[in-house]
Amino acid sequence: MQATSIHAAALHALMIADPDDKCRATQALLADWRAGRLAAVPGADDAEPVVEAGRPPRPELVAPQAVPLRKAGTREGHAALLHAIAHIEFNAINLALDCVHRFRALPADFHDGWLVVAAEEAHHFGLVRARLRALGFEYGDFPAHNGLWEMAAKTAHDALARMALVPRVLEARELDATPPIMARLKAIGDTQSVAVLEIILRDEIGHVALGDRWFRLLCAERGLEPEATYLRLIEDFDAPRPRPPLHLEARRAAGFSEAELARFGAPGETRP
């Protein structure tokens, strides 16, 4: 019996709205792929872009500047901080699934890598959601913005742009942001959430590294110099430039060169 297309299966999971069902489907997707029940379709054309991925009716999506700022020292502020992380992880599931659905012409190891990412993001979402529930809140209780998915939509026409601007820009920003968040949580005594973020940071280095690998491979295929191309794409798409302080150790591990780190860093950079 012929195996079902991994691309069609990824689209099915991508369009699931319920978070629990999406996480279960994503974990099953990786298991089915590894068991040979799903197959990549060699040479397949890229699929039509997904305009809006499956998501629950809540949280309410607002402009980034409209997301309220709250102090982590209050119960609500503590929960809002965890909610923001949960929202990033939920969107990251969709981003990884969309890579498998959308960029069908790329090799099977591209799809394998992003299926692993999707399953890890589903695991992360579950971990953060459990911490949120421990505070008496649920995913959807706070407003959030849609910046990650909006960038996925903007780059749906080109795998090179996607690899540059989602893993190497937006997800790499999380490498920089996570240590300060961990410090804020540690300061209020939430060591359990700090342990969760340690797992997320470890795995996210690998996710950014995967994007870096495919970005550089696609640049090589097209005869493009990677770092100049990266800067051009940031400008072309009006993407946020990396801002110091950078998590230098994490960015190095994810594939950023010393020249890039020097370009985006600042005098007096102290983070390891």
- Joined together, the tokens standing for residue 183 give 């410090």
Residue 235 in any domain: the answer is yes
Q: Are 208 and 216 in contact (CB under 8 A)?
A: no
Separation of alpha carbons 128 and 85, rounded Å: 7
| Host domain of residue 190 | 4-40+69-257
Residue 271 in any domain: the answer is no
Q: Are 33 and 97 in contact (CB under 8 A)?
A: no
CA-CA distances (angstroms) from residue 80 to 60, 134, 171?
13, 13, 20
CATH code at position 81 = 1.20.1260
Residue 262 in any domain: the answer is no
2-17 exposure pattern, b = at least 16 Cβ within 10 A, e = fewer: eeebbbebbbebbbbe
Residue 84 in any domain: the answer is yes
Residue 73 in any domain: the answer is yes
pLDDT of residue 266: 53
Count the domains in the chain. 1
Local structure of 39: helix, strand or coil: strand
Local structure of 248: helix, strand or coil: helix
Residue 55 in any domain: the answer is no
- Give the number of other CB atoms < 10 A from CB of residue 144: 23
- Joined together, the tokens standing for residue 44 give 């397949």
Predicted structure pTM score:
0.94
Kindly report the length of the chain.
272
Q: Extract the residue ranges of the chain whose pLDDT is less than 50.
A: 1-2, 267-272
Residue 48 in any domain: the answer is no
- Percent helix, strand, coil in the chain (nearest 5)? 65, 0, 35
Separation of alpha carbons 99 and 155, rounded Å: 11
Separation of alpha carbons 75 and 179, rounded Å: 21
Local structure of 5: helix, strand or coil: strand
